[in-house]
A and B are shown apart, each in its own frame.
Chain A
Amino acid sequence: MIFAVLIPLIFAIFVPMLSKIKHKIHTGIFVFFIPFSIFLYFIRFVGNDFSPVRHEYSWIPSLGINFDFYLDGLSLLFVLLISGIGSLVVLYSVYYLHVSERLGSFYVYLLMFMTAMLGVVLSDNLFVLYTFWELTSISSFLLIGYWHWRERSRYGAQKSMLITVFGGLSMLGGFVLLTVVTGTTSIQAIISQIDVILESNYLPLIMGLILLGAFTKSAQFPFHIWLPDAMEAPTPVSAYLHSATMVKAGIYLVARFSPVFATYEWFFIVVSIVGIVTLCWASYMAVRQTDLKGILAFSTISQLGMIMAMLGFGTKVAVFAAMFHILNHATFKGSLFMVAGIIDHETGTRDIRRLGGLLTIMPITATLALFGTFSMAGIPLPFLNGFYSKELFFDSTLHLNEVINPVANVLIPIIPYLAVFGSIFTFVYSMYFFFGVFTGPKQFDKLKIKPHEAPIGMLISPIILVLGVILIGLFPNMVNGTFLIHAAEAVNSAVEYKKVYFWHGFVPELYMSLAVVGIGTVLYITRKKWSNVYHVLPGKMSFNKLYDALVKNVDIVSAKITNTYMTGSLKLYMTIILAAIVVVTFIVMFVTNGFQMEYSNLAEVTFIEVAVVAIIIIAALATIFTTSKLGAILITGVVGYGVATLFVIYRAPDLALTQLVIETVSVALFLLCFYHLPKLQKRKESTRSKVQNGIISIGFGALMTMIAISAHSTDWFDPISDYFLETAYKLGGGHNVVNVILVDMRGLDTLFEIAVLGIAALAIFSLIKLRNNKEAE
């Protein structure tokens, strides 16, 4: 099975080569055989006696991340959609994309997506699923940005990536949490531990994070905004990724995890509400669109909302209806996208305001659109599959009493009304799509090209899909019994197979359907009269504006924030760094009771020492107040010599000597370097700045002194130096212990100390030489 998943990716490597001969043979023709053979491979699993298949391949077993593929009914439904629609889309693209396009890139991205999508629906391993999940986002990003020289394409690509990757990362968080709670990375193993999860405190978080992933991917309200902009992709891509497959990955995810969360009351509440709101909002918005693909995009969103809502209900009928509608939606929406592509291709526009009266010119296309739109609208005709699943949807909204859930009780009575509301608008935009394009006044003068019927090649794929619409409509139980039931069982094991009939008496759901058709027709005819309602809702609000403002402000605000402290001012940097060090360290010292002072065991104080200390202190303070350049340097020298004197007093002759030599050289260097620089100025500094500097400096000095006193006051261990005194002569052969330590015991320090000096010398040399070179140039 791993081969079936990876073969598109492997084949993608050869595509650039094949695209070299695209002028002879369209690259798509080669590519077609890939999804088609995958379809043939998986179709043989369909049957009444289907039972899940599991194949395991190890990848990173020590992290529990493995290619464990698990094919159950749910996966099978998706796999067949991916490979089946995939084949048709590739076929369609052969006629849609001209050979002058970058076919190589197109098919590489498309094949990449195929692998990714197959991987998502077949992986039993959480993190492999996540890997493929992000790969679908990436390939979708590339496909939306296929015509990247268009501003809108770049915008749409970036938007879809930001939103779907956001969801993906959140889902990752949920997955990791699931793994931590259950100790396994296998979805099936997780499902078998429902109790552990339901008892976990993390349950709301896990569910929330995973649902965020699903909602963003499946364009649920309010994350739906990326999908309309994704329509910038070439139409075959829209038909494939953004209608039939990728956007259903979120649906898949919710379905997959339904067994885990179904008994958790918030699952019902969140998923149902989000689904229903999406259904209503998007179908309402679809009516307002003028771009054919825009209508279809909002229509897709609303249909996804409907499926999502049914998964949220989680009842037997609802789950079965959801599976049924996934299939039906793929057929009619796929064909409608292709129709939209044909119209665009043959008339040069997708703007419905400029189209009309195409019925006579494009009769085949019109017929296809007729079936597609009417099925979408759920018109009660026995040869339209959309009607069946919509009626099951109504049925499920009416039978939510089997959900035993006190919180949900408030919602349950409202849901059927919302369902009808959403469906009415579905009906309206379906009619709008069909009649707006194919009937009405002809206005060909507004078109760039003279419209004509599409070539037969382009029509094959939508014809096959429409045949699917009709066949499923006529013989719904053919697909239901053989494989949809298995898909439904994977989501809710209680689902039983029940035959679906076109006519089942005067039941409430029939009245609901009739109401939809009735009110829908009225609204469609009068739509010009009530279109002002859009000025009220959404009016000027929109989530798109929110997104745009967010993205724009992220840049602006972060620039503002950053520029407040990244000013390039060393003083500011040092102030912040010092303040952080002083404050945090003081707090830590206080919290841990670190400060201590021990008066015993101190050396006695003599007058001469006090005098030297006093001189150093005066000199050090003088460096702050002096305004003479020379003075400042010399006073610094005084400090250095003072320290050398202290070294003498404290029995460190070597140090004293070194210090003297180095201090002398340093002062000389100082004088040499600063001879040419401007004088020290009288500081024009505000008092505030002085006080601030003073506080920080004193704070830092005091902190250091306090730590020093505390460290010195500890009396835990003897220093290791006795060893040096004992062995300096015996093992080191020297009387001067400090020297022995330097050259022998800690010889490595000294070696690299010399290295530091060497590098410094080289650096200084190159700094000076650089200048000479420059001046020579």
Chain B
Amino acid sequence: MEILIAILAGVLMTTGVYNLLQKQILRIVIGTVLLSHGAHLFILTMGKLKRGQPPILMDGIENYADPLPQALILTSIVISFGITSLLLVLAYRTARENNTDNMEKLRGTENE
């Protein structure tokens, strides 16, 4: 199963990168979202999957899933959310201000 999830995360990263390499801002942002999902799944996989119960301590249960990756993912999810929100607003503003959502038209070498 771990291998399957690793492949899934790999596919998410592949599609993420592919989107990142597009021209339209929306696609690029979607690409970063997919990349984050991939990253989170990788973290999860690293903690060995499905070993024991959810890490909520209860009497009589010996085996729990590894809690640390979960904690790390939680932190990371929240941070990604923060950045994605900022990115969205920034993307929107940039597109409005420059009248295009095509990143290839936002090259700007005139200040060289």
Contacts and interface: CB of A to CB of B under 8 A. Distances in A.
Q: Are A and B in direct contact (Cβ within 8 Å)?
A: yes
Contact of B91 (A620, A647, A673): A673
A640 B37 contact: yes
A724 B67 contact: yes
Given A697-B18, A709-B3, A760 B82 contact: yes
Contacts of B4: 605, 609-610, 613
Contacts of B33: 636, 639-640, 666
Contact of B55 (A616, A623, A639, A725): A725
A757 B52 CA distance: 33
Contacts of A610: 4
Contact of A566 (B79, B88, B112): B112
Among A569, A620, A639, A658, the most chain B Cβ lie within 10 Å of the Cβ of A620
Contact of B104 (A569, A650, A659): A569
Nearest to B108: A568
A771 B52 contact: no
A768 interface: yes
Most buried by A among B1, B9, B64, B103: B1
A737 B49 contact: no
A570 to B, nearest CB: 5
B7 to A, nearest CB: 6
Contacts of A763: 86
Interface stretch (A379-387, A406-414, A476-484, A674-682): A674-682
Given A616-B8, A666-B81, A654 B70 contact: yes
Interface string B61-81: 000111110110111011101
A702 interface: yes
Contacts of A741: 67-68, 71
Nearest to B58: A735
Contacts of B53: 651
A613 to B, nearest CB: 5
Contacts of B46: 708, 711-712
Contacts of A712: 2, 6, 45-46, 48
A662 interface: yes
Nearest to A653: B54
Interface in A180-200: none
A647 B37 CA distance: 11
B109 A643 contact: no
Interface stretch (A324-332, A535-543, A742-750): A742-750
A649 B1 CA distance: 12
Contact of A602 (B1, B16, B24, B68): B1
Interface in B21-57: 21-30, 33-34, 37-38, 40-42, 44-57
A636 B71 contact: no
A764 B85 contact: yes
Interface stretch (A5-13, A367-375, A571-579): A571-579
B18 A693 contact: yes
Nearest to B15: A620
Contacts of A650: 44, 49-50, 65
Contacts of B101: 677-678
User: Chain B contact residues (Cβ within 8 angstroms of A): what range?
Assistant: 35 or more
Interface in A583-618: 597, 602-605, 609-610, 613, 616-617
Contacts of A666: 33, 81, 84-85
Contacts of B17: 578, 696-697, 700-701
Contacts of A670: 29, 88
Q: A665, A698, A704: which has the most chain B beta carbons within 10 Å? A: A704
A620 B82 contact: no
A665 B78 CA distance: 12
Contacts of A678: 101
A728 interface: yes
Given A651-B53, A719-B68, A704 B13 contact: yes
Contacts of A602: 1-3
A745 to B, nearest CB: 8
Interface string A716-728: 0001110011001
Q: Is the interface of A mostly helix, strand, loop or mixed?
A: helix
Interface in B92-112: 92-93, 95-96, 101, 103-104, 106-109, 112
Contact of A701 (B11, B30, B83): B11
Contacts of B20: 574
Interface residues of A, number: 96
A759 B82 CA distance: 9
A41 interface: no
A736 interface: yes
A738 B77 contact: no
A725 B64 contact: yes
Contacts of B86: 760, 763-764, 767
B10 A738 contact: no
Contact of A698 (B6, B14, B24, B93): B14
A621 B6 contact: no
A708 B70 contact: no
Given A603-B49, A704-B42, A652 B82 contact: no
A705 interface: yes
Given A570-B103, A680-B27, A708-B6, A737 B13 contact: no
A632 interface: yes
A134 B52 CA distance: 71
Contacts of A566: 109, 112
Nearest to A642: B37
A652 B65 contact: yes
Contacts of B52: 651
A235 B92 CA distance: 65
Contacts of B90: 767
Nearest to A767: B89
A403 interface: no
29 contacts: A602-B3, A603-B48, A603-B51, A609-B1, A623-B34, A639-B37, A650-B49, A673-B89, A677-B92, A700-B14, A700-B17, A708-B9, A708-B46, A709-B6, A725-B55, A738-B70, A741-B71, A749-B71, A753-B75, A753-B78, A753-B79, A756-B82, A757-B78, A761-B82, A763-B86, A764-B86, A767-B86, A767-B90, A771-B93
Interface of A: 563, 566-571, 574-575, 578, 597, 602-605, 609-610, 613, 616-617, 620-621, 623-624, 629, 632-633, 636, 639-640, 643, 646-647, 649-655, 658-659, 662, 665-666, 669-670, 673-674, 676-678, 680-681, 683, 693-694, 696-698, 700-702, 704-705, 708-709, 711-712, 719-721, 724-725, 728-729, 735-738, 741-742, 746, 749-750, 753, 756-757, 759-761, 763-764, 767-768, 771
Given A632-B26, A651-B53, A756-B79, 10 more contacts: A568-B108, A569-B103, A571-B23, A604-B50, A676-B96, A697-B18, A701-B17, A704-B42, A741-B67, A759-B82
Interface of B: 1-30, 33-34, 37-38, 40-42, 44-58, 64-68, 70-71, 73-75, 77-79, 81-86, 88-93, 95-96, 101, 103-104, 106-109, 112
